[in-house]
Structure 1
Amino acid sequence: MSSDTARRTRGPRRPAKDDGPRASLRQLLPFLFEHKGVLVLVTVLSILAAVTTLGQPLVVGQLIERVQSGEALGILVWALVALVIVSSLISGFQHYLLQRTGTAVVLSSRRRLIARLLHLPVQEYDARRTGDLVSRVGTDTTLLYAVLTQGLADSVGNALIFLGAIIAMLVIDPVLLLLILVVVGVSVGVVGVLSGRIRRSTQVQQEKVGELASGVERAIGSIRTIRAAGAADREQESISATAADAYDAGVNVAKASALVVPIAGVALQLSLLVVLGVGGFRVASGAISIAALVTFVMFLFFLIAPLGSFFGAITSVNQALGALGRIQEVLDLPTETADDVVAAASAPDVTAAETAIEFRDVHFSYPDAVVSARRSAESEALKTLTEVRADRSGLAEDVREGDVLRGVSFRVPRGARVALVGPSGAGKSTTLALIERFYDPTSGAVLLGGADVRSLDRLALRAQLGYVEQDAPTLAGTIGDNLRLASPHASDAECEEVLRAVNLGDVLERSPLGLEAPVGEAGVMLSGGERQRLAIARALLAAPPILLLDESTSSLDGLNEQRMREAIDAVATGRTLVVIAHRLSTVIDSDLIVVLDRGRVVGQGTHDELVATVPLYRELAQRQLLA
């Protein structure tokens, strides 16, 4: 598709937002100070380089005077050669250190981002686009590299050269220096105005790149659905429009940056013309000598070179600060455990408690950002796919206006099998999310073994829970990698045993690699039912005292569902099960069935009791609970 077409599809241009994340140079310093040892060495080398550089014009001036007077050059020639060689060697080694340190800054920033991204509250993932978060780790961090490699780290040496050149020029001819400072002052002022524009444009560009990554990630992740719906061309137009926006922002950066280069060139050329013109006149008048003029011209170049480096540093630093604003936005987000009590208690032994799980008058509403993000995602998907894909937590089912749960209360006895049933949007998946502490109740309490889950250490809490999501993901890698996600020390024999327990023995036999057989990206080499059974096997391998199953048999045929139920029954002895039911056969023999409707409990009891007393359950049962 042409760029013109892409521009037409995206509609009228929207102005860039001015309230996006911004960063200051102070926020950049911690990334640099992690490598302060190397930076100190670079600073020392910069000082040595400045000394050897400033010494060259002085030696040249003396050489010219000796030539004019007919004196022997003596050691001055060798001194000049030594200064040039030493200066070059120092610059080369300094360049290597800066390149290596710049790469180390990118590495440390990526480690910080990864550590924060993997420990954010679940609501942040629900409210943000995955591709945009990935873009911050990959693209945004790369711009920090330029900070060290394009002039900032050796600013001490450049500052010394700049200052030394000014002092030397002041001694040689104050009049010429004053004229040069006027030219330089004007150029510095113009570059200062451009720097803010560069930072704003870079920020917009990085945001658009993040949107582009999100769009590509969404399209590739749903490629089969998109192809089946005949929506590939529409997706291409949408993503291409975002790419065009990123291009426009990049052009704005290029325009502002391009102005900096000629400004430095004009400053140098104009300064040189001023020196040659005015300086020649002053030589002719006897105010200064030819040797002094030549020395002044050399110092002029040493004055302009740091200035050009300074201009380049302004461009690279402002680009980095635009990206750092997006990086810092994530780093400033609280982690999942940031609001935990200081001395979080270990989870109680639920195998000894009379009640494993209890909900006490629980109300819950999803944060506005999550609701807004979900509504936006649904609208975008409906435009091209005509359906909304439920995400990994089942959030799409439950996010609606107002409270998702309204005064929910029920008890799950230890060792019991409890089923949650109800129409779509009743709040079933949200109930499991609250048990896992992906979210906390707006009011009321969720108890585990009699203890409020908000008072418990999250890792200890989740170690007692085996959670199988509605659309449980299969991680790229091998069968063994997926099984050992929660049980890294499980033996091959244990893995094979649990696979056969969920009727996945034939998957092992397909390949001579056995547990090391790859499953493909997102488990593409497995069927939907096999992916679901693999997720259940993963939970069973960890052998927690409580199993939370979110419609875990929804992707299975009748035969495999029966075998799955037998496998779950085999490991359910002594364990508590909370099951979101998809089929009547899954719940009919449950010890307790909790019926939810629009966030409220409308009935509790056994199958026979509910058929007789709860019209909604009776209707669901007649339709085999296929809500």
Structure 2
Amino acid sequence: MADIPEQDIDPGDAPDTRPPQDARGKPKPRLGSLRALWPFVMRQKGLLVAWLVALAASSTATLSLPLVVRRMIDHGFSGGGNVNATFALVFAVALALAIATAARFFFVSLLGERVVADLRERLYSHLVGLDQAFFERSRSGELVSRLTADTELLRSVVGSTVSVALRSVVMVIGSLAMLVATSPRLAAYTLVGIPLCVLPLVLGGRRLGKISRQSQDRVADANALASETLGAIPTVQAHAREPYERGRFATAIEASVATARRRIGMQALVTAMAISLVFGAITLVLWSGAHDVIDGRLTVGTLSQFVLYAVLGGGSVGALAETWNELQKAAGGMGRIGELLDERPAIAAPARPHALPVPVRGALRFDGVTFHYPSRPDAPALEDFSLQVAPGETVALVGPSGAGKSTVFSMLLRFHDPQSGRIELDGVDIRTLDPAELRGTVALVPQQPAIFASSARDNIRYGRLEASDAELEAAARSAEAHEFLSVLPAGYDEQLGERGARLSGGQQQRIAIARALLKDAPVLLLDEATSALDAQSERAVQQALERLMEGRTTLVIAHRLATVLKADRIVVMDRGRIIAQGTHDELIAQDGLYAELARLQFLD
């Protein structure tokens, strides 16, 4: 049958919104990438407005301080009747500043928490929806680093840096305006120094942004290495490779520290230059103002007011230097997060998905399927693979490693799409289905079951979240799991530990079988669920599997041929092709690859 046109099954190509790439293919860090935060900020309009109001109030109070200080100096010490009122005004302005500053801190910090929480939720939701090809080329440790460390940078940006930056901009503009109003001549001297103060920001900012991105990449590398090693700690310790892994991690940490040292050095240099130039200009202005006071052109209070405004403006320029550095660093983090958000899954629901017939019978058909993994484009994992499985039939897939058995499962679950050919479930091309509906009809019991660090009850209920406790216990009994679960200290509520560390291999398999039983899907995929078990555990698991297979279309990947003798049909695969099929006795009589595999295992 002809393949379905691509436009009928894909929702359409998304426009390429990725930022410009550097020579190594990495996005160039730029402040523009922080614009992607704006939609998340706008979801918190109430907090945003409250923060801006508090910011305006605190800035107004701060800019009012030099005025009341001038009044205090010129009139508060004169001995007249205005002493009490003058000092009361000073305290009132200080109190208003304290309240407004506290409100600004509260609202902007809460805004940062909410924005980062929304961003993390969006990023995680996006990641779990990406296809298997993305995870095959990505390291989980680096993804976790982007989900945690990079979003943590953005928390400080939204919750602090942006507030300081905006406040500093307001203070610089307000201070300049008041400087001109206080003494135009001295203000002219101050304005001459502003370009010199801004210059280090422009020159150092681009370099700092590149180094910040490199620093975050090195941290992600170290996190990925740690995640990989800790996930394989039994293998590490079995080979006594603790010193080797410590050395590798130390090297990765040193690389991250070396890059961080360069970033910190550049940040310190930019900050030092900006502050030196700012306060150098203030000193020059003070020197000129002192002569004006001596000559009677200014009062002491007026000069004090001017100096305070100059200090406020200069300090704000220095703060801008620091916030510029932080913004550059955060832009690198947002660029890394943006890379993930720009990823588009190759496997997606079509615009108008078809529906499966009700009830689903479980008839499977592979028609001329050819598939190459992206990492191995020259070696087909499946080549012109055709297979029909009747509803309720049990078919075993056997063959040497690399024959394509696991790829058949991946294709049926639509983790990948074939380059040619089609796969049908009950006569419907699975590419026309919503992947969620397709996967809802398939239960998988893998060779290495995924056990989550939660209770046994939660692990079994993962097969069908809405299942009742009675249904859950019935599935556990059928899976031969109730007996060992009931004697645990907390029973079904016992925490199983990371990757099921508190259970044996056979117990983990029975949890996975109970999960599949609870799902009650018409199609069952078994990836050699008994290959790593002892004889007693294998017998219990085999009994559970026989109950699970009843009335279901079942595909079994078998490495141990003793487990497939009861299959309705055995399909022998090699290099992505079917080379023989039949019953055990028929395949032995053909004296082909299956007979050779049988002789190697049974020896008799």
One-letter code of the match for 1:542?
K
Residue matched to 1:55: 64
- Say if 1:151 and 1:242 are closer, same or farther in 2 by CA, change over 3 A: closer
Contact 1:21 1:329 (C-alpha < 8 Å) held by counterparts: no
Give per-residue Cα distances to partners, 1:393-451, cap 9 Å, x unaligned: xxxxxxx8521111100101111001111100011001101101111111111111111
- Say if 1:256 and 1:33 are closer, same or farther in 2 by CA, change over 3 A: farther
Q: Once the 2 structures are TM-superposed, how far is the Cα of residue 31 of structure 1 from its aligned partner?
A: 3.0
SS of residue paired to 1:152: helix
Q: Once the 2 structures are TM-superposed, how far is the Cα of residue 351 of structure 1 from its aligned partner?
A: 4.3
The alignment's TM-score, normalised by the length of structure 2, stands at 0.90
- How far apart, in 1, do the equivalents of 2:235 and 2:303 lie? 75
Q: Once the 2 structures are TM-superposed, how far is the Cα of residue 69 of structure 1 from its aligned partner?
A: 8.1
Q: Once the 2 structures are TM-superposed, how far is the Cα of residue 248 of structure 1 from its aligned partner?
A: 1.3
One-letter code of the match for 1:131?
G
Question: Given the alignment of the two structures, is residue 240 of structure 1 paired with residue 266 of structure 2, yes or no?
Answer: no
Question: Given the alignment of the two structures, is residue 41 of structure 1 paired with residue 18 of structure 2, yes or no?
Answer: no
Q: Once the 2 structures are TM-superposed, how far is the Cα of residue 604 of structure 1 from its aligned partner?
A: 2.1
- Say if 1:67 and 1:608 are closer, same or farther in 2 by CA, change over 3 A: closer
- Consecutive unaligned residues of structure 2, counting only runs of 5 or more, are 1-21
Contact 1:362 1:444 (C-alpha < 8 Å) held by counterparts: yes
One-letter code of the match for 2:313?
L
SS of residue paired to 1:496: helix
SS of residue paired to 2:101: helix
- How far apart, in 2, do the equivalents of 1:151 and 1:260 lie? 17
SS of residue paired to 2:578: strand
More deviation, 271-280/288-297: 288-297
Contact 2:365 2:425 (C-alpha < 8 Å) held by counterparts: yes
The alignment's TM-score, normalised by the length of structure 1, stands at 0.86
- Say if 1:402 and 1:336 are closer, same or farther in 2 by CA, change over 3 A: closer
Number of aligned residue pairs: give it: 579
Q: Taking every aligned residue pair, what percent have the same amino acid on both sides?
A: 33
1:359 alignment partner, one of 359, 366, 371: 366
SS of residue paired to 1:547: strand
Q: Once the 2 structures are TM-superposed, how far is the Cα of residue 131 of structure 1 from its aligned partner?
A: 0.9
Residue matched to 1:32: 41
Residue matched to 1:577: 554
- How far apart, in 2, do the equivalents of 1:70 and 1:480 lie? 81
SS of residue paired to 2:95: helix
Contact 1:63 1:73 (C-alpha < 8 Å) held by counterparts: no
Question: Given the alignment of the two structures, is residue 440 of structure 1 paired with residue 450 of structure 2, yes or no?
Answer: no
How do residues 69-468 of structure 1 correspond to structure 2 at under 5 angstroms?
A: 72-73=81-82, 75-153=85-163, 155-335=165-345, 339-349=348-358, 351-352=360-361, 356-368=363-375, 401-468=378-445
Q: Once the 2 structures are TM-superposed, how far is the Cα of residue 506 of structure 1 from its aligned partner?
A: 3.8
1:564 alignment partner, one of 522, 541, 557: 541
Q: Once the 2 structures are TM-superposed, how far is the Cα of residue 336 of structure 1 from its aligned partner?
A: 6.6
- Say if 1:475 and 1:549 are closer, same or farther in 2 by CA, change over 3 A: same
How do residues 529-548 of structure 1 correspond to structure 2 at under 5 angstroms?
A: 529-548=506-525
One-letter code of the match for 1:130?
S
SS of residue paired to 1:347: coil
Give per-residue Cα distances to partners, 1:533-581, cap 9 Å, x unaligned: 3212211221111100111121223444344333333343321110011
- Say if 1:573 and 1:52 are closer, same or farther in 2 by CA, change over 3 A: closer
Contact 1:415 1:576 (C-alpha < 8 Å) held by counterparts: yes
Contact 2:398 2:571 (C-alpha < 8 Å) held by counterparts: yes
CA root-mean-square deviation: 2.5
More deviation, 20-29/251-260: 20-29
Q: Once the 2 structures are TM-superposed, how far is the Cα of residue 76 of structure 1 from its aligned partner?
A: 3.5
One-letter code of the match for 1:113?
L
- How far apart, in 2, do the equivalents of 1:445 and 1:143 lie? 46
- How far apart, in 2, do the equivalents of 1:415 and 1:501 lie? 19
- How far apart, in 1, do the equivalents of 2:451 and 2:76 lie? 81
Q: Once the 2 structures are TM-superposed, how far is the Cα of residue 526 of structure 1 from its aligned partner?
A: 1.5
Residue matched to 1:385: none
More deviation, 56-65/250-259: 56-65
Give per-residue Cα distances to partners, 1:331-390, cap 9 Å, x unaligned: 2212476x321121233346447xx1111111111123xx5xxxxxxxxxxxxxxxxxxx
Give per-residue Cα distances to partners, 1:52-81, cap 9 Å, x unaligned: 222232333344444798865363333232
Q: Once the 2 structures are TM-superposed, how far is the Cα of residue 287 of structure 1 from its aligned partner?
A: 4.4
Q: Once the 2 structures are TM-superposed, how far is the Cα of residue 303 of structure 1 from its aligned partner?
A: 1.1
Contact 2:293 2:300 (C-alpha < 8 Å) held by counterparts: yes
SS of residue paired to 1:150: helix
- How far apart, in 2, do the equivalents of 1:437 and 1:244 lie? 42
One-letter code of the match for 2:247?
E
One-letter code of the match for 1:60?
V
Residue matched to 1:395: none
> After TM superposition, where is structure 1 displaced by more than 6 Å over at least 4 residues in a row?
67-70
Q: Once the 2 structures are TM-superposed, how far is the Cα of residue 598 of structure 1 from its aligned partner?
A: 0.7
- How far apart, in 1, do the equivalents of 2:455 and 2:484 lie? 12
- How far apart, in 1, do the equivalents of 2:135 and 2:325 lie? 33
SS of residue paired to 2:395: strand
SS of residue paired to 1:624: helix
More deviation, 552-561/297-306: 552-561
Q: Once the 2 structures are TM-superposed, how far is the Cα of residue 323 of structure 1 from its aligned partner?
A: 1.0
One-letter code of the match for 1:575?
R
SS of residue paired to 1:424: coil
- How far apart, in 2, do the equivalents of 1:263 and 1:286 lie? 35
2:532 alignment partner, one of 548, 555, 572: 555
- Say if 1:112 and 1:71 are closer, same or farther in 2 by CA, change over 3 A: same
Contact 2:278 2:317 (C-alpha < 8 Å) held by counterparts: no
Contact 1:150 1:312 (C-alpha < 8 Å) held by counterparts: no
SS of residue paired to 2:64: helix
Contact 1:405 1:599 (C-alpha < 8 Å) held by counterparts: yes
- Say if 1:401 and 1:500 are closer, same or farther in 2 by CA, change over 3 A: farther
Contact 1:151 1:310 (C-alpha < 8 Å) held by counterparts: no
Give per-residue Cα distances to partners, 1:302-351, cap 9 Å, x unaligned: 212322332222122112111111111112212476x3211212333464
- How far apart, in 2, do the equivalents of 1:151 and 1:577 lie? 58
Contact 1:350 1:414 (C-alpha < 8 Å) held by counterparts: no
